[in-house]
Amino acid sequence: MAEYTVKTGEMKDGEMRAANIGGREVLVARVAGQFYAARNVCPHLGGRLADGTLEGTIVTCPRHGSRFDLSDGRVVRWTNWSGPMLALGKLLRSPRPLKTYQVKIEGDTVKLEV
């Protein structure tokens, strides 16, 4: 297993960053003093989530507007498409949750194991 550490003071609330941990691209986010980690690749069509937006614990993919909750990886919205395009999007790839990782805080250090 690969490990990644960051000091709690290095990230502001509402900030996201990408980290390469053991060859995997991981999204690290801070929301209301809590830290979250998830795969940085959208399960819909592979967009880099760190390039998207963060509202609370909800991250939005910059490619097609898919939204996921970083607290548990659940799908909030599969795409921002509607009507026939939404149906097509679900046929191409059925909704899948985002892979999340456990975060541990030790003193002023955030640790992730991937």
Which residues, 6 or more positions from 102, have their beta carbon under 8 angstroms from its beta carbon? 37, 112, 113
Question: pTM for the full model?
Answer: 0.87
Q: With beta carbons less than 8 A apart as the criterion, state whether 53 and 63 touch.
A: no
pLDDT on residue 12: 96
Q: Which residues of 26-55 are buried (b: 16+ CB within 10 A; e: fewer)?
A: bbbbbbeeebbbbbbbbbbeebebbebebe
High-pLDDT (> 90) share of the chain, %? 66
Which tokens in the block code for residue 18? 């990408």
In whole angstroms, give the CA distance from residue 98 to residue 33. 21
Flag whether pLDDT at 91 surpasses 70.
no
- The torsion angles phi and psi of 89, rounded to 5 degrees, stand at -60, -40
Domains of the chain listed by start with CATH number? 3-113 (2.102.10.10)
pLDDT on residue 85: 67
pLDDT on residue 29: 98
